[in-house]
Structure 1
Amino acid sequence: MKRFLTLALLLSLYSAHSQDSILIKSKVASAITELREFVAIPNDALNADDIDSNLFWLRKKFTERGFNSTILETEGLPLFFGALPMDDSKPTILFYMHLDGQSVDATKWDQPDPYKVTLKSKTKDGWKNESFADLDDDINYDWRLFGRSTSDDKGPIIMFLNAIDALKKDNIDIPYNVKVILDSEEEKSSAPLPKAVRTYKDLLQADFLIINDGPVHVSAKPTIVYGCRGITTLSITAHGPIKPQHSGHYGNYAPNPGFQLAQLLATMKDTDGKVLIKGYYDGITLDETTLEILKSVPDNIEEINKNLAISNPEKVGGFYQEALQYPSLNIRGLGSGWIGEKARTIVPATATAELDLRLVPETDGTRLKKLVVDHIKSQGYHVMSTEPTMVDRLKYDKIVTIKEGSVTDAFRTDLSNPFGNSIVKTMETTFGEKPVQIRIMGGTVPISPFINELKIPAFIVPMVNPDNNQHSPNENLKIGQIAYGIELFYALLSPEAVE
């Protein structure tokens, strides 16, 4: 492995568009070696032993970089916390990443072991295996590392550690106190996190939070995200006859819960996809400045529609980014009776719709669920939280059972926040172009407890390629993103970042 090139030179070469420099690629190769070692430790969020092994490895690696580290016990699996020596005269930055990964089904992967990183290059027919021995001499930045958690989320952790190495090599005085919290149950919705944040609030206190999770914008440009939507759920079951009945004997007589549920759901949205429930969009206003930022995101609508294979999107917003500024009401699952080869000539006993409601900061999840339930009642349904008894069935014409899910809040940091402005400026200076600024992303990341409990601004700064197959077989990380991540962490933690 060639000698480490200081990142100051790396940055100047990169800025001069010399990404093909063998010295730069040799530095990236050293990060790849450490990532291979890290990925080789299984990290299934469902296996506590896996998490313990990862925590042991992380403590060793962070300690080698001068961090004081500790394992924070929770009601679930432990969290990892690390911090560089503190200086009260400096502002504090807290980084959030996660060490756990999705479970794997090795039979679905195009390699024998998803925890053994495989190097591949793209061909017209698919992917070709490459030799890691070639990394000493040359690296194609389009080559990819395939393995569980290469992108979600071990890759960014390795980028961070190698950026710390470079800062120390260059004798850079980091202008921040640096804290790191690594979640071990992110892939399980981080259930213990809210209480843990309350318990360790003083330890986690910071001036702002950066979350390094998820992919950059599909354009592959540098990206900063100011928030994410929250989520809650409702399960609605309509009841017909107490058990399935012969459709010949009882069709036209026994109420069909499938039709009842379909008719009920149809009252909730118009043909353009807008929610008709009164008050659902209350509190949301978008001024011209906000709309301009939303329009600046380089989404290719034709490409999005092509990928979705749709001719005409819903009209909740005038364009994709605007649509994400509103809460959604989505049927995520729908079932009644049997279908396909198993279809039976029956009047079903029940029909169930599983709904998810994506939330924005202006919309409280508990309130939205109540609006939906009140709407259902207004349609003449008797609403229950349990299965109806015989007495209930004989008393009410239309009955639904509703089960409510928990609420994960949304968060959004103001677009004019000074820490955010600093991140944008750093990205622009480092990469020579203004980053994609996303006001709120459509998905949900379980980090709202940081914002709610610590009351600090938060920014998602993704590092990995948008086509990384996270959560799926053949998860991968583009090698060019490793160079990008190291460079961005270095720049964010350099004195210029606070000027």
Structure 2
Amino acid sequence: MKKILCILSFLFVFNSSAQEEAQLKRQVRQAINEIRSFVSIPNDALEHADINRNLTWLEKNFNARGFNSSVLPTTGESLFFASLPMEDNKPTILFYMHLDGQSVDPSKWKQPNPYEVVLKSPDGDGWKDQVFEDLNEDINYDWRLFGRSTSDDKGPIVMFLSAIDLLKENEQEIPFNVKVILDSEEERGSKPLPKAVKEYRELLEADFLVINDGPVHVTGRPTVIYGCRGITTLSLTTHGPIKPQHSGHYGNYAPNPGFQLAQVLATMKDTDGKVIIDGYYDGITLDENAMSVIKSVPDNVTTINTNLAVKTPEKVGAFYQEALQYPSLNIRGLGSGWIGKKARTIVPESATAELDLRLVPESNGVRLKSLVKKHIEKQGFYIMDTIPSRKERMAHDKIMTITEGSVTDAFRTNLTDPYGEFIVNTLKEKLGDDVVQIRIMGGTVPISPFINELKIPAFIVPMVNPDNNQHSPNENLKLGQIAYGIEVFYGLLSTKM
């Protein structure tokens, strides 16, 4: 009798699991159609008309799911806000994603129109075109959708809507009040966001924030990220002769701005890549708990170094994740005179280095820029924020023009936050896999205005495949990640804390 009961129990579980998988695949198939529809609307962050057309699509599709939606004017492009009917006895979860995308150069894509989604399957080291009519309930999760914003960030928006559909189909109660804010200028730095969050503070109030942007860990395991680095920029220009001069006539006489710039840049870091500007790393400590978490991330140093084609990485940290815990100082571009076939035998009139400084919560962007400028002054440079006049050139031996970019702050939520523990436990239970927990990621998401103004914890829960080519030609989304995203949203919105 016990044997029969065990067999019946197994058959029930197996049948239930099979039904759930079939239901999920049907939902993935519907999501694919919706992603194609959404992506077909160009969303270039620089084009106002594109953004408006996407806002119209969002209003229609969120309202169809029972959301109350609003288009929120800002000093730039409008934000999109939606919420389900509120109940006072429920905690509130706020989701952040973005609807805008990077510009495209169609000539670099392996398809005629980057906004017309193409279905492809793996074919050796490349990809083979497939037709959507061949997709049925037995979906191959290794196939991919290619198109601008399939992964960054329209795919996750559709995954969210698909999870809402599935929750309704299963008559599943949502134990949260649900709010959604969609940014329309994320790819332009979200400059209107800080003021907009202040203005719409009451509307956006929530208990915690979940950001769905970026890829899961390279292992493909469920991923929760507790913070991201901020960013600011500096542009440094040194000045030589007021006009380019013949290097035969004036080489050895006219100061060369390229060498001046190279010399001052070389004083900023040691040969191991550590910043040696006084005070740059001040305030940063890693306790035992933090080190335990960052060491738990399953990075493969051989794979990372092979992908980068570098033999020896810099030694700001002992390993990759530790390196991300410190602010960086990066030369993102250098220019002086002409190069390649256009090279000329001249002493250039100027040389420019473009720097970006990635920030961590302990580092203040304004302070770090000030430290860099003080360091440059110690190297004997007179600092200006404009191009020097002839009179100013004659008055100073070494002049540097410095222009500053705006600051996007870093954020990092406490690793023991109860909402974070809820997310990790839900993902582990729903997906049956250990969750990769990342203390802070290297990239920047403009989330600090929410944290600073709303005073709520924030967590990044990425949805898409690590090799999605976001911002680049041939951006893509793995079909298996659509299923993954739907399951993640479903789990978060159906689990009580």
TM-score range, shorter chain: over 0.9
Aligned to 2:5: none
Provide the C-alpha distance between the structure 1 equivalents of 2:270 and 2:495, rounded to a whole number of angstroms. 53
Aligned to 1:48: 48
Matching residue of 1:145? 145
Contact persistence 1:238–1:257 (CA under 8 A): yes
Distance 1:134 1:207 in 2: 44
Shift of 1:136: 2.3
**Residues 96 and 182, structure 1, Cα contact 8 Å, conserved in 2:** yes
Query: Aligned partners of 2:257, 2:408: CA distance in 1, in Å?
Result: 31
* Matched-pair contact (CA < 8 Å) for 2:330–2:355: yes
Residues 399-418 of structure 1: matches in 2 within 5 Å? 399-418=399-418
C-alpha contact (below 8 Å) 2:385/2:402 kept by paired residues: yes
Match of 1:471 in 2: 471
Change (3 A) 1:263 1:433: same
SS of the aligned residue for 1:493 comes to helix
| Pair 1:429 & 2:421 matched | no
How many residues get paired?
485
Q: Retained in 2: the 8 A contact 1:239–1:398?
A: yes
1:185-264 residue pairs with structure 2 within 5 A?
Answer: 185-264=185-264
CA contact (8 A) 1:173 1:495 kept: no
Whole-angstrom CA distance in 1 between matches of 2:418 and 2:257: 54
In 1, Cα distance between equivalents of 2:482 and 2:294: 28
The alpha carbon displacement at 1:22 in A equals 4.8
**2:4 aligned partner:** none
Amino acid of the residue matched to residue 482 of structure 1?
I
What is the alpha-carbon distance in structure 2 between the residues aligned to residue 399 and residue 137 of structure 1? Answer: 67
CA shift, 1:144, in A, is 0.4
Structure 2 distance, partners of 1:321, 1:103, is 31
**8 Å Cα contact 2:43-2:50 kept in structure 1:** yes
The residue correspondences of 1:377-456 to structure 2 (distance < 5 A) are: 377-456=377-456
- The correspondence of residues 63-102 of structure 1 with structure 2, limited to 5 A, is 63-102=63-102
- Show the counterpart of 1:37: 37
Matched position secondary structure for 2:111? coil
Counterpart Cα distance in 2 of 1:104 and 1:89: 46
SS in 1 for 2:318: coil
Return the alpha-carbon distance in structure 2 between the equivalents of residues 194 and 478 of structure 1. Answer: 33
Amino acid at match of 1:380: G
1:134 deviates by 2.1
Shift of 1:73: 0.7
Partner of 2:10: none
Out of 338-347 and 18-27, give the one that drifted further: 18-27
Residue identity matched to 2:42: P
Alignment correspondent of 2:164 = 164
Question: What does 1:257-272 correspond to in 2, within 5 Å?
Answer: 257-272=257-272
Amino acid in the other structure paired with 1:238: T
Q: Hey, what's the Cα distance between the residues in 2 that align with 1:13 and 1:221?
A: 24
Q: Whole-Å Cα distance in 2 between the matches of residues 21 and 493 of structure 1? A: 18
CA deviations 1:298-353 (Å, max 9, x no partner) are 11111111111100000000000000000001111111111111111111111111
Corresponding residue of 2:300:
300
The answer to whether the aligner puts 1:312 opposite 2:312 as a matched pair is yes
Report the counterpart of residue 461 of structure 2 in structure 1.
Answer: 461
Say if 2:105 is the partner of 1:105: yes
Task: Kindly provide the CA deviation profile for residues 66-115 of structure 1, in whole angstroms up to 9, marking residues without a partner as x.
Answer: 11111101111111100001011111100001111112222221112211
SS at match of 1:474: coil
Is 1:286 the equivalent of 2:302?
Answer: no
> Separation in 1 of the partners of 2:261 and 2:151?
41
> Structure 1's 392 and 475: CA in aligned 2 closer, same or farther, altered over 3 A?
same
Structure 2 CA distance for aligned equivalents of residues 318 and 440 of structure 1: 16
Any gaps of 5 or more consecutive residues in structure 1?
Answer: 1-11
Who is 1:136 aligned against? Answer: 136
CA drift of 1:28 comes to: 1.3
Partner of 1:326: 326
Contact 1:26–1:135 (CA under 8 A) maintained in structure 2: no
Q: Distance in 2 between matches of 1:171 and 1:101?
A: 34
Structure 2's unaligned 5+ residue stretches are 1-12
TM-score when scaled to structure 1? 0.95
3-state secondary structure, aligned to 1:136: coil
How far the C-alpha of 1:383 sits from its partner, in A, is 0.9
Structure 2 CA distance for aligned equivalents of residues 108 and 132 of structure 1: 23
Q: Against the structure 1 CA distance between its residues 125 and 261, is the aligned structure 2 distance closer, same or farther, given a 3 Å change threshold?
A: closer
C-alpha contact 2:27 2:162 (8 A) present in aligned 1: no
Aligned-partner SS, 2:155? helix
Higher deviation after alignment, 487-496 or 174-183: 487-496
CA separation in 2, counterparts of 1:19 and 1:114? 36
* 1:138–1:368 CA distance, 2 compared to 1 (3 A): same
* Other structure's SS at 1:249 match: helix
Structure 1 residues 45 and 241, CA gap change in structure 2 (3 angstroms)? same
Q: Distance in 2 between matches of 1:125 and 1:392?
A: 58
CA 233–395 in structure 1, closer or farther in 2 if over 3 Å, else same: same
Q: Counterpart of 2:168 in structure 1: which amino acid?
A: K
Out of 383-392 and 399-408, give the one that drifted further. 383-392
Q: Which moved more, 1:208-217 or 1:346-355?
A: 346-355
